[in-house]
Amino acid sequence: MKILIVGGGNMGLTYARSFVRAHITSRLDLRLLARSPQRVAALAAHELGTVWGDPAQCVPGADIIILAVKPQDSPALFEAMRGLVQPHQVVLSIMAGVRIATLREELRTPKVIRAMPNLPAQIGMGMTAFTSTDEVTRAELVQVQNLLSTTGKTVYVEEESAIDAATAISGSGPAYVYYCMDALMTAATQMGFTPAEAELLVSQTFRGAVELYSQSGLSCTDWIAKVASKGGTTEAAMHAFGAGQVREGLVAGAVAARDRAEELGK
């Protein structure tokens, strides 16, 4: 399977390393396309595959073409690739906000998959939602899912609108976690801990809580009930969170992110 990754940024390199490490493809069958001679040289130094600077030299021979460039760079990308993509090739885009209809029209190709990975994909702990056009075969979907799964977990969604929802939950989600962590680190330092101690307390608490949740069949509500004894310290915190509408604020934030994703797609 010959794979072409267009774009050599963080996600492009993440995919290249993950595919090679998982033996999904070999360095001989992996291609990377960069837009400048300087970037071509920088990518070649990683020795992950053959690096090209001209789309005409690498697009026609690929089985799967992965578009891993910034959304604002998509017009230039479409211009450079127009007429090169063939109907039998599968195009996988991770460009946020760029719709399938746009990809089909600009690249004039029927087999399109749109995916939304997130930042932890860089360490193999990512969450990726993806969807596809009807022309993508079952076998091709399985191939692409295997590729995406090298960076973490995946979920296939039937409707493209669910990609905007996934953008708001898992795509933006790491920032929500860091926001909560930062708030607790601030509280810890106000209570007298050093910044290093606060970071250790909070990061290990989050890590342990997520792992405990993952290894159990209990819901978040179940775990809260286990920690929050009546009249205790956790219950006092939960009352304060309720009074400050923390839960409602987080839900509203996720909805706002979904709405913005929909706007960007238009």
Report pLDDT digits (tens) over 177-202: 999 999 999 999 999 999 999 999 99
Fold of 3-159: Rossmann fold (3.40.50)
What's the mean pLDDT in 163-174?
A: 95
Residues 6 or more apart from 121 whose CB is under 8 A from it? 11, 14, 18, 127, 128, 151, 152
**Mean per-residue pLDDT for 6-24?**
92
pTM of the model: 0.89
> How far, in Å, CA of 93 to CA of 218, rounded?
35
CATH number of 173-265: 1.10.3730.10
Which residues, 6 or more positions from 253, have their beta carbon under 8 angstroms from its beta carbon? 176
What is the structure's pLDDT at 102? 95
For residue 165, how many other CB atoms are within 10 A of its CB? 20
Name the β-bridge partners of 32: 5, 51
- DSSP code of 48? S
Which regions of the chain carry the CATH code 1.10.3730.10? 173-265
pLDDT at 38 over 90: no
pLDDT for residue 265? 78
Q: How is residue 243 written in tokens?
A: 């009074």
Q: Where are the domain boundaries for CATH 3.40.50.720 in the chain?
A: 3-159
pLDDT tens digits along 55-82: 999 999 999 999 999 888 999 999 999 9
Q: Which residue has the higher pLDDT, 97 or 142?
A: 142
115 membership: H or E segment, kind and range: strand 112-116
Q: Does position 37 have pLDDT exceeding 90, yes or no?
A: no
In the predicted model, what is the mean pLDDT of residues 89-97?
94
Indicate if the pLDDT at residue 266 is higher than 80.
no
